[in-house]
Amino acid sequence: DNAISVRLPKGFTKTDTKKQFSLVARTSFGTILIFKVPDNPQITPDIEKDRHLKNYYKNYIKSVKQSSKSGIITDEKDNLIGELKVKDFTLKIDTGSGILLRDFRILHTNGATYTFEFLHENVHKEFAVPEREKFFNSIEVNETISSSDQYTSQAPNSDSPDNSKYLIWFIMIVLLPIGLTILRVLLKRAQRTDL
């Protein structure tokens, strides 16, 4: 879109509905998922300062953790894309037939939350990590976007409740079924190739 660009392998699929979009691409050893969910003034919390942005990312990670009872959050760290603050973390899931790693990079800017995700099986980690790094390093921000674009334009209101949990749940309700569907497809393909 006009704020963020990323390089993807050939053959990716795009789903676009009401300003929300998702992209899915396959690499040799993993799956790339990208989601953009625009802010909803009814549920998006005011993000007026760095501490609000950090809290927003923290709540996002908490909701990802809650969406997967057997998942463990690892490798959580702050990072930058240009001037913009992003949050990186990994959700490690024991599927019963192996460990699935979901590497996330979360970015809030320009009135939307971007979720960049790289899924791969732990058994392929040696080959998947370079693909993940290539993907994450290809994420670029339009030069007109600055760190101030990470904040919401709503005026601060101390009387308004913290709605970040609602936004996080909204995002997870959108992302979780897509992620689980892709996980099922990957596991079925892996089982078929083992035969």
* Residue pLDDT, tens place only, 154-193: 444 434 455 666 666 666 666 767 777 777 777 777 666 6
For residue 125, what pLDDT is reported? Answer: 92
For residue 167, what pLDDT is reported? Answer: 65
What rounded mean pLDDT belongs to the chain? 86
For residue 20, what pLDDT is reported? Answer: 81
* Residue pLDDT, tens place only, 119-132: 999 999 999 999 99
The span from the CA of 121 to the CA of 193, in Å, is 14
Burial 5-25 (b: 16+ CB within 10 A, else e): ebebeeeeeeeeeeeebbbbb
Q: In 10 A of CB 154, how many CB atoms?
A: 14
Give the C-alpha distances (Å, rounded to integers) separating 32 from 12, 23, 115, 131, 160. 9, 8, 11, 10, 37
52: left (phi over 0), alpha (psi -120 to 50) or beta: alpha
Whether the predicted pLDDT of 12 surpasses 80: yes
CA angle, residues 116, 96, 98, in degrees to nearest 5? 55
Instruction: Choose the weakest-confidence range: 9-13, 71-75, 185-189.
Output: 185-189
* Listed residue (31, 33, 13) closest to 100, CA to CA: 31
- Return phi, psi of residue 156, to 5°: -60, 140
Which residue segments constitute the domains of the chain, with CATH numbers given? 4-194 (3.40.1000.10)
Whether the predicted pLDDT of 6 surpasses 70: yes
For residue 169, what pLDDT is reported? Answer: 66
